Each structure stands twice: as C-alpha cells, then as structure tokens.
Structure 1
Amino acid sequence: MSLKDKINEEIKSAMKSGDKLRLETIRSIRALILEFEKSGLNKELTHEEELKMISSSVKKRKDAIEQFTNAGRTDLAQKEEAELAILMEFMPKQMSEAEVIEIVKKIAGDLGVSGKQDFGKLMPVVIKELKGKADGKIIKSIVENVLGAN
C-alpha cells in the first residue's frame, strides 16, 4: 500500500472517529503530496520523496515545540507534540543512539577515517546510510564524538 493510499485510509478513519487533530495533521501530509503532484514534474512520488516530505514536517513540529516551550506556551507545544506523534506513525522506526554509534564506527573503520579532519568524508556516507532512520542532529553529534575519540 502506497503512502497516498495509507493516508486516504487514515483520513477516513479519523473522520469516522471524530479525531479532529489527527484528521488535520494527516490532511497536511496529503496536501504536501498533492502539491508535489501538481508541481508539473510529471513523475511518480518515490518512497524517498515521501519520507523527505514527512521528515520535513517532523522537523518543523520539533522546532515549533522548542519555540513554544521557550515562550511558555505549553498549550501550543502540547498540540505540536500530538501532531508530531501522528507524523511519526508514517516514518520508519527510528534507530537508537547505540545502533547509530555502532553503524558510524563500522563506516568509519571501513573508510579508514580517524580524526576530525575526516568529518567531511564520513558524514555524507553516514547520512546516506541512515537517511530517515535517525535524526540528523543526533547523527552529527555521534560522528563528531566518534571522530574526536579516535
């Protein structure tokens, strides 16, 4: 089942259950997909592009949560957290920090990188390997730690 089909099913389910927040959040994903389709590129939406769209929405929600929390608007932060939880249902399971560290160390060993000067060599390979499976900020800090420890 494609993401588009899954979203349409989730919209129906949210409408039947009367869950307005879920409905609104899922409709926002559908709007992103429709916008892409109408962009005139005449190409089918790939799985990577679907993940990229949802990742972008996840990142926006995380930023909004941080800003609302800093501004003392816990009500809005809670709404964003609820939307974030809904969006995460459409993302692949995120890897734990321990799993990311293990993969970064393996890739660093395979590439033969050892110091902070090799950050530019290691980071793109790790990002490509872990795309959509771990947060970019976490990956960056782990890569820096692994290179700093060597």
Structure 2
Amino acid sequence: MISTTIDQEIKQAMLAKDQAKLRGLRAIKAALLLAKTEKGHAEEISEDAEMKILQKLVKQRKESATIYKEQGREDLYIVEQEEIDVISQFLPQQLAQADIEKIIARIISESGASSIKEMGKVMGLANKELAGKADGKLIGEIVKTQLG
C-alpha cells in the first residue's frame, strides 16, 4: 500500500529538510486520508483507488500550473511542478503516445467499432486497459482520431 511508503518518505523528507518533496507527500497523505474517511469506514482503500487519487492530484496540479504559467506567476508554477514530480513518482510509468495508439488500434479492431458513434464503447475498453498508464484526455483524442 502506498500509505506506508508515504509515511516513510515524509520522515526522510523532514530529515532532509526537502520542502518541495514534503509538500507533495503531505498532499498525497491528505488525499488518501480523506478518501478513507469518505467511505465511512476505516478499511484500507484499494491500490486501484489509490492510483486514481494520485492521478487526480497530478491532474489538478497540471491545471493550476497551466493557469499560473499563463498569468506569469512563475513562482507558483514552480511549486505546482515540484509537487507534480513528487506525486508522479508513485504512479505507474506512463506509456508513450505511439504505444497508446497501437493499443487503441487493437481495441478498435477487436471491438469491431467503425464510426465515431461507437466512441463510448471504445473509450470504456481503452480506459479499462490503460488505467493509470495514460492520460484520459490523450486516450480520448487518439480514439477520436482513429475512429473519425
């Protein structure tokens, strides 16, 4: 489980006085604790759920970083980028776009989808297979291109 690793990493970051890493780790810990209490019980959350939480944290920070960059707030942009780097270490390695395109092409041929009307079906299969390995937005763009 990620939570035990996070606790150990927080201790190491505190000892090293690494503020950027500490911020990112604390954000992960807070999000995991929130998810645990939202469910209404003290059971451990699944590894799949943990990955979704981490992906959400990265996505939020990327959106914020983009806004900060557009508004010329380099100081805040750097903070968001540092946290993205820390959180991303706990996510599976992202696939290259070429690999994603091959997987989606295979899914399309296996499912028999032939038009953009079947995008939902293909997206469901692709998101299931590529969960945690590719950004949902990128998957959607590739599916749209290949079906369109």
Compute the TM-score of the two structures, normalised by the length of structure 1: 0.93
C-alpha separation in 2, matches of 1:120 and 1:142: 13
Gapped runs of 5+ residues in structure 1?
none
Q: CA deviation at 1:69?
A: 0.9
Q: Size of the alignment, in residue pairs?
A: 147
Describe the superposition over 1:95-118 as per-residue Cα deviations: whole angstroms up to 9, x where unpaired: 000010000000000001111111
Instruction: Give the corresponding residue for 1:144.
Output: 144
The 10-residue stretch of structure 1 (36-45 or 66-75) with the greater mean CA deviation from structure 2:
36-45
Write the letter of the residue equivalent to 1:34: L
Matches within 5 A, 1:87-106: 87-106=87-106
RMSD: 1.1
Q: Does residue 111 in structure 1 map to residue 105 in structure 2?
A: no
Q: SS where residue 132 of structure 1 aligns?
A: coil
Q: CA deviation at 1:38?
A: 2.6
Question: What percentage of aligned pairs have identical amino acids?
Answer: 35
Gapped runs of 5+ residues in structure 2?
none
C-alpha separation in 1, matches of 2:7 and 2:43: 20
Instruction: Give the corresponding residue for 1:57.
Output: 57
Compute the TM-score of the two structures, normalised by the length of structure 2: 0.95
Instruction: Give the corresponding residue for 1:38.
Output: 37
Instruction: Give the corresponding residue for 1:9.
Output: 8
Describe the superposition over 1:109-149 as per-residue Cα deviations: whole angstroms up to 9, x where unpaired: 0001111111121111101111111011110100011112x
